[in-house]
Amino acid sequence: MSLPNQDLEKIVQDVLAELTKRGLADSASKEQAVPKPAFSSAPAANDDEKMVTLVSADEILIDNPANLAALKAMKKTTPARICIGRAGARPKTASWLKLLADHAVAQDAVFVDVSEDFLKKMNLISVQSAAETKELFLTRPDLGRRLSEEGRKTILEKCAKNVQVQILVVDGLSSTAIEANVGDILPALMQGLKASGITVGTPVFVKHGRVWVQDEVANLVNAEVVISLIGERPGLGTAESLSAYMIYRPNEKTVEADRTVVSNIHRGGIPPAEAGAHLVELLKLILKEKASGVNLNAKLHKD
């Protein structure tokens, strides 16, 4: 997590330097009362969060509002950038910087890797997709959908076979989402599945993976259901959102509609631990009905 925020800091400083060059930074910071120390002093590692919050997300930047209470109430209903006022035809410096910062966070989420320390802490076996580099992963979706030769070997060697549920953690488009949520969702899943007497395979982390990689893993370990916890494409609202994709006995004919998905898992959506307990119920249902995706819905509607 330290790398993305250092990048962010650099971006913010670059922007400020640029503004100073144009003689804008001083007047801008006075006008917006952006606390200067937040930029100039190098903050301690756990102060990084403060760095990101240039203006707090719930701040109203409209000058002299006629009904502040109304603006606050509207602002509460959405994470979108409303009530930010304007400077002439353009956004105010503070909200512009915030946009750049959020964009940087989103980019970091894609380009950064899940740290080795985190994988060790979570006790995850790590394999890689056929996409060797980030660039290949982003430009060749097909490579992210299958495992590297070595990855296949590792899974065959180290993973339990013939299980009911196989859990995959996949970086997808947000490594940030993995580090932010997996620590809470994985133990919740394991606890619930274990209490329900369901056999769970060895959890595996797939680097540079996409959703479909779960089909290959399912067949390697002969799992009834595979659940992939995968980082969602980050947006400007949050880069921490995680999705869970579940598939019952995938084969070569499997398509997107065969998967059951729960999205928006993060602290601002459904909290990860709570999502874990919800997913346990869903997995039990998939096992019982022997179906996922639209097939599951069709079976449930028949009753």
Partner 1 sequence: MAMGESTVQTMTSVGIDIGTTTTQCVISRLTIENTASATLVPRMEITGKEVIHRSEIYHTPLHQHHLVNAVEISRILAKEYAKAGVTPRDIDTGAVIITGESAKKENAKALLEALADYAGDFVVATAGPHLESVYAGKGSGAAKYSSEKHELIVNIDVGGGTANYAVFQEGEAIDTACLNVGGHLIEIEPGGRKITFIAEPAQHVLKALDCHLKVGDEVPFSHLQKIALTMARCIGEVLKCKVPSELTRKLLMTEPLTLDYPIQKVMISGGVADHVYKDFSPRSVEEISFFGDMGPLLGWALRQTLLEEGFELIKPLETVRATVIGTGTQSVNLSGSTIHVKEQSLPLRNVLVLAPFKNLTSPMPDTPEEIAQGIRKSLTALAGEYELHPIALAFEGPRTLSFPDIQNLAQGILLGMEDYLMKTNRLIVVLEKDCGKILGQSLAALSSQDMEMICIDQLDLGNSDYIDIGRPLMGGRVVPVVIKTLVFDTKA
DSSP labels, 64-107: S-S-HHHHHHHHHT--S--S---BTTB--HHHHHHHHHHHHHHH
250 vs 218: CA distance, rounded Å: 7
Build a one-symbol-per-residue string for 234-273: x at contacts with partner 1 by CB under 8 A, - elsewhere: ---------x----------------xxxxx--x-xxxxx
Among positions 60, 278, 284, 287, the unique one binding partner 1 when judged by CB under 8 A: 278
- The one segment of 5-13, 112-120, 161-169, 183-191 that binds partner 1 by CB under 8 A: 183-191
The count of other CB atoms within 10 Å of the CB of residue 58 is 10
1 binds partner 1 per the rule CB under 8 A: no
One-letter amino acid identity for 218? A
Among positions 41, 46, 67, 123, the unique one binding partner 1 when judged by CB under 8 A: 67
Site for partner 1 in 68-107 (CB under 8 A): 69-70, 73
Among positions 36, 120, 121, 194, the unique one binding partner 1 when judged by CB under 8 A: 194
State the number of binding residues for partner 1 (CB under 8 A). Answer: 42
229 binds partner 1 per the rule CB under 8 A: no
Closest approach of partner 1 to the CB of residue 248, in Å: 12
Among positions 43, 79, 183, 235, the unique one binding partner 1 when judged by CB under 8 A: 183
Among positions 127, 131, 188, 230, the unique one binding partner 1 when judged by CB under 8 A: 188
133 vs 158: CA distance, rounded Å: 24
Burial 150-159 (b: 16+ CB within 10 A, else e): ebbebbeeeb
31 vs 35: CA distance, rounded Å: 11
- Going by C-alpha positions, the residue among 230, 239, 192 that lies closest to residue 208 is 230
The count of other CB atoms within 10 Å of the CB of residue 143 is 19
Among positions 18, 26, 58, 274, the unique one binding partner 1 when judged by CB under 8 A: 274
90 vs 97: CA distance, rounded Å: 12
- Residues near partner 1 (CB under 8 A): 67, 69-70, 73, 183-184, 187-188, 191-192, 194-195, 243, 260-264, 267, 269-278, 280-282, 285, 292-294, 296-297, 299-301, 303
